Amino acid sequence: MTIPRPHWGWTSRIFLFALIFLTEFVAAHSTHAQTFMVLYSFLGSPDGGGPNGVIRDGDGTLYGTTFWGGVSNGGAAFKLTPSGKEKVLYSFRAGYGNGPGSTLVRDTKGNLYGTTQGGGAYGPYGVIFKLDQRGNETVLYSFKGHSDGQYPSGVTLDDGGNLYGTTPWGGNGTDCADGCGTVFKLDKSGRKTVLYNFTFGTDGGAPYSGVIRDRVGNLYGTTSWGGDLSCNNGYGCGTVFMLDTIGKESVLYSFTGGTDGIQPYAGLVRDGGGNIYGTTEQGGVPGCGKEGGAGCGTVFKLDTSGNETVLYRFTGTGGDGAYPHAGVVLDPQGNLYGTTITGGSTNCTYGIEPGCGTVFMLDTTGKETILHTFAGNPDGAFPTGVIRDAAGDLYGAAAADGSPTCPRRFFGECGTVFKLTP
């Protein structure tokens, strides 16, 4: 059967940028108690547009990718110094691997690794690439589509130089028109192995978020569909899964489509005790949200026995955020930090859902604090997650708006990189 794509689209960019063209932007500035600073505003070309998020090295330099822009409008990889000076490391070209749709990972030598959503040697199925410190790109693998997988999500790196990731479509799952998704490994010699093929049954389907890895080599991730097949008209509402070192999959939790959440889209984080934290893009408060009222999303915890606790349900009202499209990060005290795609200021509207997004903190009692509400111009809109440094400062990217001189393009606005001191 033909399986519909997740409610918000097959990549984060499709969701973000589709909203832009539904209505015009209305923005108003707001004041915030926290210290918020725009480190860089993108202009589209040649510097890039639509940043996916950032990583940070020990010197405070940030690295990331943009979905579009660059010299050839196929996206860019960039670095940003602590003083806010941007350098384009590489501009992607259509057909050669273009449209990077995830953040990067960095090895101990300073090489960067990532994926693109399109391009490659075998068609528009995406690639895994490496960038050295001089910005020289090497395509490590071109996806062939279908049983090989297509449209790879981000990758994670082990100590041996092997990369692990997911493709939301492709594989040998026969219940899907073009495959139900895969988990893969790419070894340092360039040999790719499909570790698991999803079936869109109780095992899940459409893993959009990549995976994380524990110390013994088990992989953890989410699927946006599958799981409890009594949910969502038989398509399931998503899962949290584990894949052990021999490729055996275990579903740690299947979402039921109610107050526990629907469609986990983002990746996961684990604490020292093995508890897992993540978000669901919908579910939570019944009736919340204009798009069918399926709920405005949740933050959840999963203990080592597979018991789920909903730590917070977004309401989308009163300055609260809505639709946590990215995952969360954890501080040593157990507080969680993350972003919502919409919600926040009612004076900023994109499409059918109000608000340009928020940065939030959730303490150990489940109390939410909005750390920043985006207004579109000049701070950006649609934040794509945050990272945290040892001092407690947060860094992230907003995928749209920013500079008032940014040209409108089909794939959205230009976006910003920001720093936030809670």
Using pLDDT thresholds of 50, 70 and 90, give the confidence band for residue 19. Answer: very low
What b-and-e string marks burial along 125-151, b requiring 16 or more CB atoms within 10 Å of the CB? bbbbbebeeeeebebbbbbbbbebbbb
Query: What is the rounded CA–CA span in Å between residue 236 and residue 271?
Result: 27
Collapsing DSSP states into helix, strand and coil, what is residue 20? helix
How confident is the model over 378-417, as pLDDT tens digits? 899 999 999 999 999 999 999 988 887 777 554 456 999 9
pLDDT value at residue 45: 86
pLDDT at 148 over 60: yes
How confident is the model over 221-242, as pLDDT tens digits? 999 999 999 998 899 999 999 9
Contact 339/360 with Cβ under 8 angstroms?
yes
CA dist 236 → 89, 91, 253, 264, 406 (Å): 41, 39, 12, 11, 40
How confident is the model over 329-365, as pLDDT tens digits? 999 999 999 999 999 876 665 556 788 999 999 999 9
Query: What is the rounded CA–CA span in Å between residue 390 and residue 327?
Result: 19
In single-letter form, the type of residue at position 241 comes to F
pLDDT value at residue 350: 55
| Look-up of token digits 């969502």 | 232
Looking at per-residue pLDDT, the higher value among 407 and 276 belongs to 276
- Domains of the chain (ranges plus CATH)? 12-421 (2.120.10.30)
Name the H helices within 142-268: none
How confident is the model over 149-191, as pLDDT tens digits? 999 999 999 999 999 999 999 998 666 777 899 999 999 999 9
Looking at per-residue pLDDT, the higher value among 353 and 127 belongs to 127
Bridge partners of residue 34, in order along the sequence = none
pLDDT value at residue 147: 92
Closest residue by Cα to residue 340 from 353, 415, 34, 268 = 353
